[in-house]
Chain A
């Protein structure tokens, strides 16, 4: 008996693999990034097929959307710096000495061996086997939310999630630090129509994002997806130059970055006492607290992702500093 979906699965899997190979082998970088974005979207599709809509959403929004934007921006910057902005066919952006083919083949051979080993191990493993299913099912009622993924993210393994936000924070600090004083490549010239489009779509996107966040407690969606969608707002604002960061906004931005983390961690600490340990929300306030955290974290994530896209710390750049900040 063949499940009709299986054919879809096989096609999808084949496409994913083909795209993966293509991403790495296609000569034009721009094409590679576009292929990668397609790949990400197809993966998200596959994950929907695997009943993981939250993940698919996150991948589509963050793993593909924001990442794609970042990659394209970077490519743009590199081409600008290299003076090859107009040439769509430029293959690489960094001067490289070619690696001998033998080494490439050796790498490929090793990786083939690894694939083989991992595949054997995978086939050997008990699929659909043990998991947290039962534990989660037991614990959900006490978690304060209905949706499993959100419960895991914000209650059972909220420590992980906190640290994940911390990673974002670390990233934005690092990026600011790295790019400080970097002169910017001129934004791609967005036409007036684009700007108008941006103006029109922005409110809609905000609504979608907020909805996602709200839905997160009982259905797929949540802080990260919501945050990503809201970040898209920021990215559009930045791209369309509807918003230009200024040095004066730095303090606010800082607060924005740490807001989610701070509140998250603060709540985690504040709930302690009376026999409760860190992160142990009192059951009666669990939902409220989680929503509070989720909301603020969403804002932080959005601001952070947008800042990651923008890159530079908005400072008044002195020419000398821009050249050498060593």
Chain B
């Protein structure tokens, strides 16, 4: 028994209800808006913490009501969901602070924060969806809520980016709808059940099950920026910095990766997926994406684009970990879900600070920025080193587990892949650090846009950088993401 069975719903509603209020606020009511934003974000963190405590006590949450006969809208708070919910709640709080600072003098703030809030609600919904149908609902909501954020600037370029984003994600969503329908017809349910629901179907109708796998994973693969579907992500970089940060760290891309996880683990079941012969191609695709993304990142001069391609690469670690079908790799994948979020959000906020404070938008302009903005660049450095995978930072932990998992699954190439990818990471991150710290800033001195940034911009990246240090350094501590991940994986692998 729970004393509050609707807790997941409340967590969803906190940001969902905040959104219309934020829409309705007049543009000039900045203080009120800020307090609502921060208040709701804080409440949400508190609620999630409570939920986490409850769930760790073994309380099972299951909120549902019937939408169509046999088809439920269902929220659940299993450990996997909780992992993602906590990530989004915490990062939302931080990003909100950052956005408030970032948009201090911008236009359309009511719209921005309204959709921002909606976007987080959708992410939370994606996390806590108890079946694929509910997942689909929030997945589409996420698309719709992020579109106005992507095109926030309202320029022709932004609109073009938004259109591409919309085409990719809505087409993906449509395919997901098709897949969900197919699943429902074939399996009679769309519930997420550890171990999968398709074992019988896969045994009887192998081809159908395979097609279903391709359709479903392909559909969410669009948001996860899997190789042939990655093109929207770098283009969507026209969005304001907090949006990019959120998009890459928690919301869209992670929703895709999370979807792959749910589909592989809880719709098909890892054994069934393996028996269908679908995990190997998925792993190969992930590998291609990892290398491709890194290679593309090297050639980018625009900081945000470089980071975007880095995301393309890094998110596929998660897919890889899932596809390797090894519990250890799964730990790595899940841990990377969290770790990458922390690292990438740090970097994007730092990049935003560079653009805001110094007008630096290109790698080639980064000379000497370390001295100009030491705090921001320290955070960036920590995240970059973590990305490369230096112990004991966050990235190291997840890569370590992925490599172990690869060996465990008998795929030695994974180790080579990770080494290669880390090398490539180094190739594109180290020059940035080098420029920032060891070159004299000739160009930035001349930049006219130079101005001081407020604490609301400076603090968030430093906070997340500290978290990057913490989750890596104390990876084995109780309640660390890694520990929680192990717990989740034990459930998914039914050990």
Direct contact between A and B in the complex (CB less than 8 angstroms)? no
Interface of A with B (CB < 8 Å)? none
Interface of B with A (CB < 8 Å)? none
